[in-house]
Amino acid sequence: MKPMRLTLANDAPMGKDWTYEVKYDGFRTLLYWSEEGIHLISRNEKDLTDRFPEITALAETINPPKLPLLLDGELVVLNTPYQANFPLLQQRGRLRNKTKINDIATSRPVTFVAFDILLDPKWKLNKRRQVLKDVIKKLPTNRIQLIESFTKAEDVKAIVHTHQGEGIVAKKKDSFYQEDIRSKDWQKVKNWRTISGFLTHFDPSNDYFQLAIMEDAETTTIGKFKHGLDAEQHETLRSFFKNKGTKTEGGWNLGPGVCVDVHCLHAENGELREPVFHEFRFDLSHDECTKEKLEWDLSLFPENVTFTNLDKALWPGVTKREYLLYLRDIAPYLLPHLLNKKLTLIRFPDGIDKPSFFQKHASSSQPSFVETWPENDEEFLLCSGLESLLWFGNQGALEFHIPFQKVKEQQPTDIVFDLDPPDRDAFSLAIKAAQLFKQLLDELDVRSFIKTSGNKGMQLHIPILGGSMSYEETRGFTESLAALLVRQHPESFTTERLKKKRGKRLYIDYVQHAEGKTIIAPYSARATEKATIAAPLYWNEVTENLHPDQFTLQNTLKRVQTYGCPFSDYGQARLHQPIETMKSLKD
């Protein structure tokens, strides 16, 4: 069978009769689960079963509550819970070598995000969703997930914008599933990136127009488009190319001059994903259609934040523009660690070589979207969303430090060991300490996460549920583990607070984990010469080859998009910690 299809809309229908979902950028797939196993069929009825063994192998270890099952959903490579990586999925879909397929299925697995179940054609969407929810709940795997449903379009729009997702889907609650029908009961709204370029080529054999930008004073092609032009616009451009262009074997070439805006989802490696003509830009010259403008437009900056002095250097060779691009694109990974926590910012308004200052209180000049937390006649800064994060960045906030508890809680939600070697040349001591801590925590069944500090050390994080342990109890836990490592390796580690008494040993700072103290947030930049990042790591990366200078503002986003976020299940891990074991641990 072929799945039900969606109607493209300019905006989502509103009202209590509708429900809303994230539109993922993946392969629309039907998952058929029978006694014979799992089969994956694309919307064009192509068999994808042998391409995704991490999904099909589930049939060997899981017994669903009822067979057969027919699920409609999207196969995706998830960067974040709401952002899919289509280029990686596309590469995956082209693989045929079984060894390579199995390797990537382990290192960067796909997820089947289920949004419908096809058991009874008489069931309406509400009924189908409840049955689907019950089925997914009984499957002990995160490789098959239930899509999240929203009652307000504004909520899902905000999420999709922050996570730079593909778009949203609106579905009528009382709709029936209509096989291979494009129905207005299901409507999709794209989260377009609107980019600017100038036209350079027209191919009359397929009606494609080629789009280019200026990069280092040279013309660079970024892709081509044909859709979105009405008949008059199409004829105008066609005639212009014929009258003003140069005839070639493949069509007509045109010098830089005619600028247009095009909607798309991605622009990468000379290709535009789902390009649609938007409008002519007679107010732009081709010199303004630059690589810098393209990068900015693709990142979907919020319109209600003002950005200034973008060419100012904040680090040697790194401008504010580059920093804001990093903040914008890393926001889905960084924001979860900042939400509902009192911030301590370190601001460098004129760059790391000029004076800096700490800020944790609100100022009179901040915009209304920057939220605060009142406490004891003080107003503390919060970072509640993308707009706040970028406004702080524009103000020169390069470092984001966070406490261990949320504003409405008195007890910690995170335990952190700060592994502080005497200098960068002794970073190997931090690696040794992290590996030893990992062994101890694994023996206790404690889930732990590791990151570089972005400076000269590392930090080990243990997420816990707020209220599950007091600061006194976490202090007993951290002190006992730190003391154990010092006893076992007195030549390498110390808990001595005075620097002059530490010698060349690494300082295990468990005292830093206390009420009122802070730690650098995961993915925050640091004010170092190389613009390093407090970078989350996979534990298998913590080897002698590791060095904090490897993770910088220039490469961290690409790293996380390629390999995934090592802290992706940080929130889930806090639900399964052996709290009673941790409380009972004493020195």
Q: Is the separation of the CB atoms in 274 and 264 below 8 Å?
A: yes
Answer positive or negative: Cα dihedral of 551, 76, 16, 265. Answer: positive
Q: How far apart are the first and last CA of the chain?
A: 63
Got the DSSP string for 327-355?
Answer: HHHHHHHHHHHHTTS--EEEE-TT-TTS-
Report residue 155 as tokens.
Answer: 């909520």
Tell how far CA 520 is from the center of its chain: 19
Exposed/middle/buried for residue 502 (C-beta within 10 Å: 0-12, 13-18, 19+): middle
Return d(Cα 521, Cα 62) in angstroms, integer.
38
Report residue 412 as tokens.
Answer: 């910690």
Query: What secondary structure, in 3-state letters, does 256-281 show?
Result: CCCEEEEEECEEECCEEECCEEEEEC
- Range 304-312 contact pairs with CB under 8 angstroms and sequence separation of 24 or more: 304/367, 304/369, 304/387, 305/367, 305/387, 305/390, 305/391, 305/394, 306/394, 307/390, 307/394, 308/394, 312/350, 312/351
Count other Cβ atoms within 10 Å, centred on residue 584. 12
Q: φ and ψ at 387, to 5 degrees?
A: -60, -45
Query: C-alpha angle 106/445/453, rounded to 5°?
Result: 75
23 is catalytic: yes
Report residue 388 as tokens.
Answer: 């706040």
Residue whose C-alpha is closest to residue 191's, from 10, 333, 332: 10
Largest CA distance in the chain: 85
Q: Where are the alpha helices (DSSP H) in 350-419?
A: 386-394
Name the catalytic one among 23, 224, 341, 432.
23
Q: At what angle do helices 320-338 and 386-394 cross, to 10 degrees?
A: 140
Catalytic residue numbers read 23
